[in-house]
Amino acid sequence: DTAVSQTPKYLVTQMGNDKSIKCEQNLGHDTMYWYKQDSKKFLKIMFSYNNKELIINETVPNRFSPKSPDKAHLNLHINSLELGDSAVYFCASSQDYTEGETQYFGPGTRLLVL
């Protein structure tokens, strides 16, 4: 049973393309997140949704647009991909966003922009 799943696991694409990454959690959690882990291994929050409502929107280019059709899904669409977008993107979820809640991560999507 996969708690937090992401598709695709690998994504290789050309600059300028538009791509989407999908995330689903079957834990019944209310809160979901997107993180980016760059080549220096820093994991940074990009977005968070609680019950389909955006609660965190870090300083991310507006080429990145999250969409949460329901609380079990949080997708990430990226327009006009750039070389610097190459990274591992992790989805995560938690019961809610209050202090102390453990976040569970998906396996990651490795994006390479050529």
The residues that touch other proteins, with contacts defined as CB under 8 A, are 40-45, 48, 55-56, 90, 97-100, 102-103, 105-108
Looking at beta carbons only, is 75 or 89 nearer to other proteins? 89
**Quick one: which of 114, 111, 109 has its CA closest to 22?**
109
Rounded Cα distance between 17 and 85, Å, is: 12
Looking at beta carbons only, is 14 or 84 nearer to other proteins? 84
User: Smallest distance from the beta carbon of 16 to other proteins, in angstroms?
Assistant: 28
Rounded Cα distance between 85 and 61, Å, is: 10
Rounded Cα distance between 37 and 16, Å, is: 21
User: Smallest distance from the beta carbon of 74 to other proteins, in angstroms?
Assistant: 15
User: Smallest distance from the beta carbon of 4 to other proteins, in angstroms?
Assistant: 8
Q: Which uninterrupted H or E stretch holds 34?
A: strand 31-37
Looking at beta carbons only, is 75 or 93 nearer to other proteins? 93
- Under 8 Å between Cβ of 26 and 91: no
User: Smallest distance from the beta carbon of 22 to other proteins, in angstroms?
Assistant: 16
